[in-house]
Structures are given as structure tokens and as C-alpha cells.
Amino acid sequence: MPVPRVRRWKPLALATATVLVGITVPATATASPTATASPAAPAYDDTYYQDALGKTGTELKSALHRIVSDQTKLSYDQVWDALKTTDQDPANSANVILLYTGASRAKSASGGDQGDWNREHVWAKSHGDFGTATGPGTDIHHLRPEDVTVNSIRGNKDFDNGGGAVGCAPGNLTDADSFEPRDEVKGDVARMILYMAVRYDGEAGFPDLEPNDRVDNGSAPAIGRLSVLKKWNAEDPPDAFEKNRNQVIFDKFQHNRNPFIDHPEWVEEVW
């Protein structure tokens, strides 16, 4: 049974820095990631989101799919450099902010060895077996920098509340079939998962990705739990770092947006 936890709204500061696999997190990791916020969502309502306005349910989901599917696709190698820009530490341009730990890590420490950071697929690539193929496997709306060890601990687990503490990533919990991220990025995780469900619907040879309300989904093109993700979206609204990341992806890389960052209320309209 999931272990109940007290929820809190997202503070401006990132979680307290920690020491991971012998690497001391720079003091900048404890600072608030006060990136320049993107323009207000309504700035895109008369242009980018024009065809989605006034719709609900399946009509809204279909409209958003058509809108966000117009994108520039990256190769898996290009993802490395993209993440160094999208997830740059606002307090230290030589570093990136890691998703689950909140730590600030040198951009140059990218790789697969202990102490490095690598490319975390928030929608685990085995959920639909899309691997690192151009498309869902390289979509930087759900790819984030993360410590190699923490990335391995998360693995391909579904998202849910509860579990035991992740010693090298304070604030995160895990058990045999689920992972609960720290409070400060719960909404970020939810909105990334739901973006993927809207963007990839079985076209172009890719699986139809859908959230469901279970865990232990294995290789099915599904991930859960939807009810928990919806709560996380409501409890942890987009902050300046997440909004800025969405804008950088739109301006410099894929030229599409995560609509649930601009309009988090659309989560309830679709699901």
C-alpha cells in the first residue's frame, strides 16, 4: 500500500543539495533556480493554441496533438547539447540542474560513469519499447539530466506515492514497482508524462502512449498512476525554471511546446 505523505506547494528554492557518489554538490544547487520566465500563456492563445481553445475532452486532446506534432526532431546525440541549454543552472552557466536530486552538476560531467549525469527518459523508453529512436526516444520535453546512479534506481518504474527513501537523492521515494520524485518536481514529472500521451498516439510507427491508473506496466505503452499524476499537476504548478525550459525548447530546439505547462488546467479537461 502507498505510504501517505504530506504534500506541499512548490517553493521557489530547489531541494537542499546533497553529496552523490562521492561528488560534492556545489553551493549553487541550494539556490533558487530563478530562470527568466516565459511569456504568459495567453501570449500564445491567439496563435499557437488557437485551434485548441474552447475544446474539451477528446476534441481538446486531438487538437493539442495536431499542434505539438509540428516539431523539429533531434538525434539522440543532439540531446546531450540540448539539455546543457534547456536545464542550465541559472546560477552557474557551466552546470545543469538534475531533475530528481535538484543538484547542480558540471555540464562536462555527462556520460555513463558513476558521478556523471546522463539522459533520463521520464516516460521510460521500455514503456512502449521505443528505445532511443528519433521521436519519443529523443523528445527533450521528457528527457532530463540526472545522476547516473539515481537514473538507474528509477529505472523504468511507474510513478506513484510511497516507498522507501532514496539515500542518494533525498526527498525521493521508491519501491519495487514505483518511484515518487521530490515534491519540487512532482508537477514537472506529471506534465512531461501527459505531454508524451498527447504527442505520441500511434502515428509514424511509434506506439500510442497512454497513462493509466496502475503500476508495474512493464513494456506496455502505458505508465501510471494517472490519478496521482493529476494530483501532482495540481499541487505543484509550473515555476519559472519549468516555464523557461519550455520556452527554450520552443525557441531553440524542437519549436513545439508542452501545453500543460502553459495551461495546467487542461489536464483536467483532457483526463
Residues 16/229, Cβ–Cβ less than 8 Å: no
Residues 134/145, Cβ–Cβ less than 8 Å: no
Asked if the model's pLDDT at residue 268 lies above 80, the reply is: yes
Percent of the chain with pLDDT over 90: 82
Separation between Cα atoms, residue 50 and residue 54, nearest integer Å:
9
Q: Average pLDDT, stretch 241-246?
A: 98
Residues 261/250, Cβ–Cβ less than 8 Å: no
Asked if the model's pLDDT at residue 113 lies above 70, the reply is: yes
pTM (two decimals):
0.86
Confidence at residue 42, expressed as pLDDT on a 0 to 100 scale: 67
Asked if the model's pLDDT at residue 104 lies above 50, the reply is: yes
Angle made by CA atoms 133, 137, 141, in degrees to the nearest 5:
145
pLDDT tens track for 78-88:
999 999 999 99
Asked if the model's pLDDT at residue 241 lies above 80, the reply is: yes
Bigger pLDDT: 176 vs 10: 176
Confidence at residue 43, expressed as pLDDT on a 0 to 100 scale: 81
> Which residue type occupies 239?
D
Confidence at residue 41, expressed as pLDDT on a 0 to 100 scale: 57
Residues 2/70, Cβ–Cβ less than 8 Å: no
Mean pLDDT (the chain) is 88
pLDDT tens track for 26-66:
333 333 344 444 445 568 999 999 999 999 999 999 999 99
Q: Of 49, 87, 84, whose CA–CA distance to 68 is shortest?
A: 49
pLDDT tens track for 172-229:
999 999 999 999 999 999 999 999 999 999 988 899 999 999 999 999 999 999 999 9
Percent of the chain with pLDDT over 70: 85
pLDDT tens track for 256-266:
999 999 999 99
Asked if the model's pLDDT at residue 135 lies above 60, the reply is: yes
Separation between Cα atoms, residue 260 and residue 233, nearest integer Å:
9
In whole angstroms, how far apart are CA 9 and each of 112, 163, 225, 232, 237?
Answer: 33, 21, 20, 10, 8
Residue 103 binned pLDDT confidence (cut-offs 50, 70, 90): very high
Residues 63/57, Cβ–Cβ less than 8 Å: no
Q: Average pLDDT, stretch 143-159?
A: 98
